[in-house]
Structure 1
Amino acid sequence: MNRTLTLTTALCAALSVTAGATTYPLTLTDDLGRKVTLKAEPRRIVSMLPSTSETLCALGVCDRLVGVDDYSDYPAYVTTLPKMGGLYNPNVEAIVARKPDLVLVSKYGKLEGPLTQAGITVLAVNPETYDEVFSKTLILGKIVNREAQAKALVTSMKREIAKVEILTKTAVKKPTAYYEIDPTPYSIGPNSFMGTLLTKAGARNIIPASMGDFPKVDPEFIVKQNPQLILGVDAGTVAARPGWNTITALKTGKVMDIPQELNTLLGRPGPRLPQALRGLAKLIHPELFK
């Protein structure tokens, strides 16, 4: 009986995988608006985004990576792979030398031009909004013939995120917040994946959606908005800025730099998004995690 049940389960699983298998050639429209055709299932992949490297590994195809960008460092396996440069200083010759059948890039940096000229298939997959983190995970799953794994990953991520939201919805006060990602200063709009995390973590973003997802902000605007919480920069830096010593967050000791590990997590629209949200929520509402 048990043997029959086991065989039936295995057969159903095999049929399920077959039914959900990607068929090639596969044509996709990438984030640069280009139609790109994959002739066969990619086996030698160069990833030029840390979040993409993480997602591919989470889908179980880490072993297909033959090169990664300089900032890919998770999981530990990718630190052993050849480095191909960064977004604005990619090593095109090194990438070509790895003989990839697919290079996954950001829509920024203009790397697709020289690589396409070299006869290499290039696809821009660049999640920026919260929903895109999940939709692009599914796209990557389709690209590497791991659609079932991608769906399972998305389901798991959303379940873990919901657990944090249950806690933060009980917060008595949700502070107005300014989140700095660059001292220029650049911040995060509410519709970016980081902005959505900020809201889900129990804060109210002072940056309006009309400013964009990752806007450069007039310092006077921040002073005028007078946030109750400032994240991503230390109190000393804030106090030294003209006019910022009047901001409530500084007066009440609610200026918090973000620990490096959490800062890295928060900047990556990938499979560790739930951990990023939990870490941010703990900073904003430590009382909920005792």
Structure 2
Amino acid sequence: MRHRTAVLALVLVVAAVAPTAGLAAAQTDDGASGGQRSCTFPYTATDATGTDVTLEADPERVVTLNPSAAQTMWEIGARDEVVGVSQYASYLEGADEKANVSGASGPSVERVLAADPDLVLVPNSTYGLAKDRVEQIRDQGVPVYVFGTGTSLEFVANKTETIGRLTGNCEAGQRTAADVCESARLMRKALADEEKPVGLNVFYGYTSGNNTFIGDVMTTAGLRNGAAEAGVSGFAQLNDETVVQMDPTWIVAPEGSPIPNNDAYNSTTAIREGNVVRVDENNLQQPAPRAVDAAETIMQAVHPEAYEEYRSMKQQSNETATAGTTAATETTGSTAGQPATTTAEETQTGAPGFGVAASVVALLGASLLARRR
């Protein structure tokens, strides 16, 4: 229960007190948004607080203050560089081998400094809850990078690519970001002709409205966000009258979270027909690469036929990418160390709302189907 309460608190801070600077503004022309694959150091980037963060060398010791940043490091294959995680990252394989940097009601400054980090990654929710502690860490001369508010899968992709750049894992960050973009693009393509029923996200008395990454996960998976259509912005409570008027066809909720048992909810089509999609909270509640897994879970439940089409397209995309990698290897003898020759314009995914620079198509091969759990 303490874990669920903490998850709720972190999500709510996103809307209430998090930094408002967008991620795009936090990237320099040498960063993820530029389409370049160089991972040279020294490197300077401006974070969501407007602070210029300079890394003199490739960080070898990284501390993450929230599970979303830790999950991203795991997903780009850089978990060995992580020396400290929050207590809520325990679901990640091998996280118990890292230092626990959590303290009472937020990160422990002493534990973070004791981990001797070269870089501290701070998602916006942690900064909102513990700004003074984060600034204390920064005051000790430790590079601290704070991310902006997550509002979409586009943000997840940009954040993933940025973490790869900051930690010297450019190619892996770009590849994983491209996987997020490509997965979202293929879902939307498979769902293009499908009728989108009304969905409602419910978690511990709250819902996800406009400008939330959970809302974007739902719409990418083929639902209309009923809370957003009812005028709800951010993460907020929803009154029973609105629920009745909305009459959601589907309810999306984290595994183990209670669905209100009252007349309002029991009158909805979702409850009457048993249309409740349970999603792993570590995938649904965190703006990190496994949000794609959450979207896939929802899509499979709501649009099973379109989901199968999506999986087929993803398989085909994977085979095409693998063939491209093989051809490149046969031509050059090796794909390692090849310079990036495509422009930023040529590497855009083309997906609606996605401006993150994707890697060369061949780099998608290994990641398109092999989602790390």
Tell me how far 1:161 sits from its aligned partner.
3.1
Tell me if the contact between 2:120 and 2:145 (Cα under 8 Å) persists in the aligned partners.
yes
Bigger mean CA deviation after superposition, 119-128 or 137-146? 119-128
Given candidates 273, 290, 312, the residue that maps to 1:272 is 290
Tell me if the contact between 2:199 and 2:252 (Cα under 8 Å) persists in the aligned partners.
yes
Given candidates 188, 207, 213, the residue that maps to 2:227 is 207
RMSD: 2.8
Structure 1 distance, partners of 2:94, 2:191, is 34
User: Cα deviations across residues 207-266 of structure 1 (Å, max 9, x unaligned)?
Assistant: 2275323233333322222222222279x9656335433333233333x2615xx23211
- 1:281 counterpart residue number: 299
How many residue pairs end up in the alignment?
A: 265
Tell me the SS of whatever aligns to 1:208. Answer: helix
Tell me the SS of whatever aligns to 1:22. Answer: coil
Tell me if the contact between 2:250 and 2:277 (Cα under 8 Å) persists in the aligned partners.
no
Given candidates 62, 67, 71, the residue that maps to 2:79 is 62
Q: Which has the higher contact order (CA 8 A, sep 6+)?
A: 2
Gapped runs of 5+ residues in structure 2? 1-35, 309-373
Gapped runs of 5+ residues in structure 1? 1-18
Q: Give, as a single letter, the amino acid of the residue that structure 1 aligns with 2:247.
A: N
Q: Give, as a single letter, the amino acid of the residue that structure 2 aligns with 1:191.
A: N
Structure 1 distance, partners of 2:38, 2:208, is 37
What TM-score, normalized to structure 1?
0.79
Tell me the SS of whatever aligns to 1:100. Answer: coil
Runs of 4+ in 1 over 6 A off after TM superposition: none
Given candidates 28, 35, 38, the residue that maps to 1:21 is 38
User: Cα deviations across residues 44-64 of structure 1 (Å, max 9, x unaligned)?
Assistant: 110112221122233332221
Residue identity over aligned pairs, in percent, reads 27
Q: Give, as a single letter, the amino acid of the residue that structure 2 aligns with 1:93.
A: E
Q: Give, as a single letter, the amino acid of the residue that structure 1 aligns with 2:226.
A: I
Q: Does 1:42 align with 2:59?
A: yes
Tell me how far 1:162 sits from its aligned partner.
3.2
What TM-score, normalized to structure 2?
0.63
Structure 1 distance, partners of 2:189, 2:84, is 39
Q: Give, as a single letter, the amino acid of the residue that structure 1 aligns with 2:245.
A: K
Question: If you compute each CA radius of gyration, which structure gives the higher value, 1 or 2?
Answer: 1
Structure 2 distance, partners of 1:50, 1:196, is 20
Q: Does 1:198 align with 2:218?
A: yes
Given candidates 173, 185, 189, the residue that maps to 1:150 is 173
Q: CA 1:192 to 1:263, structure 2 compared with 1: closer, same or farther past 3 Å?
A: same
Given candidates 50, 53, 70, the residue that maps to 1:33 is 50
Tell me the SS of whatever aligns to 1:71. Answer: helix
